[in-house]
Amino acid sequence: MGSDWQETTIGGIATLQRGFDISKKEQTEGAIPVISSGGIGSYHNESKHNGPGVLLGRKGTLGSVYWTDVPHWPHSTILWVKDFHGNDPKFIYYFFKAMGPELLRMDVGAANPTLNRNHVHPLPALRPPLPEQKAIAHILGSLDDKIELNRKMNATLEAMAQALFKSWFVDFDPVIDNVLRKNLAKHPSPSLSQGERDLAGPSPSGRSGDEGALQDTIYNGIPEELLARAEIRRQAIANGAADEATAEHFPSAFQETEELGWIPEGWEVSSFEKLAKLDTTSVKPFEHPETIWEHYSIPSYDSTSMPSLDLGNKIKSNKYQVKAGAILSSKLNPETERTWWPLMMNPSAAICSTEFMQFVPKNKAEQAFVYSQIRSEPFQKSILERVTGSTGSRQRAQPKQIAEIDVIDCGESLRVEYVRQALPLIQASQNNLLQSNTLTKLRDTLLPKLISGELRVSEAQRLLLDQ
């Protein structure tokens, strides 16, 4: 620490103020975030602070620290920085982030954890000069910016893979394209003969005359529930946006099934367990104290990126052994989809919480297909139809019932083709995730050392250059 760092108190660095009471009933829908101890909980049409803002969990969730640079409403369950006393606001944010563990220890509540600002203000603190504050904030902020960029990129990559799955196996776009092309080839002209109009019969689209008969002939063979999609696909064909090469791998007609309604001709309805096995092979880590276990657990926050990971040998309860190629899905509170593709570092010592449902593809090469199947909207809807318990933390899915969910069997060749196109997207997302994990560890290592002055800015910059 340099001699130019000033000894002061937290109150001398930043003045904390209790947030403002407001109930959900008192809020009017708007774009202003209402930030409470758990983060943004709702939006209102009025702000209490224009930002930038640094907010600390005061009641319920202690140790949480939030940054915002937009107008917001600080809720009564948080403390917010009313006065930065000329200090850099982003530095103050990281200052309190470094204090997270200490804030947790300052609980003065009985049943509900509570943080009192009058107990925080007198605590001793070190204040670096403003230029060094900005440099510290820049280093830590650059890491956070890269992590956030990776998160956004991953959201896009995952959405692309899921959109492809939806197009092929939920909306059946290539099959619709094939039916349309077949019908359009028969009727390239907008005019129909009287015999063709008679054959077409009444127009389900509601159109009258030649136009209505033409439309129904073009859409002949497409189930009614897919007609809206068919209109979109007809435009895609006209615009040259429909992939004719891909469509060649798909049927050109539909068939009706008792279980799932209309599906592509030649495809079958099958249970999910024929595609992936529900694996509950257990292991007792405490019987192998010499092993450093790679332990995956369900995070306490909503996330689709990665389960929590702990490395250690002091695990005292039974776990599931994570199998190669497995997809993990939370059976807790399934109203929020949480499915993970574990990136195992040591497969022989990989275990997971028994709160997971572990599905292992029968064909390991189809892991990407199984991953997207579980995450798909129809599958998630089927899960919700099978949950037990009341809403909230007691709600859970029943793994054996999930394994028996009816799914469409499109055949191995199409599953392989989907994997060929989707796997690079998923792998790119995983690479970003691994980089973000490395950056997060680096940020968490640098944070307390920079804030305390143990590590100077120049030394931190050299560490960053090595990354």
User: Which string of b and e fits 191-215 if b means at least 16 CB within 10 Å?
Assistant: ebeeeebeebeebebeeeeeebbbb
Report pLDDT for 200.
37
Residue ranges per structural domain of the chain: 6-127, 129-172+410-467, 173-249, 274-408
pTM for this model (two decimals): 0.83
Fold classification of 6-127 is Adenine-n6-DNA-methyltransferase TaqI; Chain A, domain 2 (3.90.220)
CB 231 within 8 A of CB 154: no
Report pLDDT for 216.
67
* CA distance to 52, 70, 121, per residue, from 74 (Å): 12, 12, 19
Report pLDDT for 302.
45
Question: How large is the average pLDDT for residues 9-18?
Answer: 94
Identical fold, 6-127 and 274-408: yes
Start-end of H helices in 263-366: none
Summarised one tens digit per residue, pLDDT across range 400-434 is 999 999 999 999 999 999 999 999 999 999 999 88
- What is the residue-averaged pLDDT of the chain? 87
Summarised one tens digit per residue, pLDDT across range 179-237 is 999 998 876 654 444 444 343 334 444 554 445 555 668 899 999 999 999 999 999 99
Rounded-to-integer distance, Cα 247 and Cα 17, Å:
61
User: Please, which pLDDT band fits residue 111 given cuts at 50, 70 and 90?
Assistant: low
CA angle 351, 355, 360 (to 5 degrees): 60
The per-residue DSSP string of 8-28 comes to EEHHHH-EEEE-B---TTT--
Pairing of strands 32-36, 73-74: parallel
The residue with greater pLDDT, 450 or 346, is 450
Fold classification of 274-408 is Adenine-n6-DNA-methyltransferase TaqI; Chain A, domain 2 (3.90.220)
Report pLDDT for 197.
39
Q: Out of 162-171, 193-202, 231-240, 337-346, pick the least confident.
A: 193-202
Distance, first Cα to last Cα, the chain: 24
Question: How large is the average pLDDT for residues 270-276?
Answer: 96
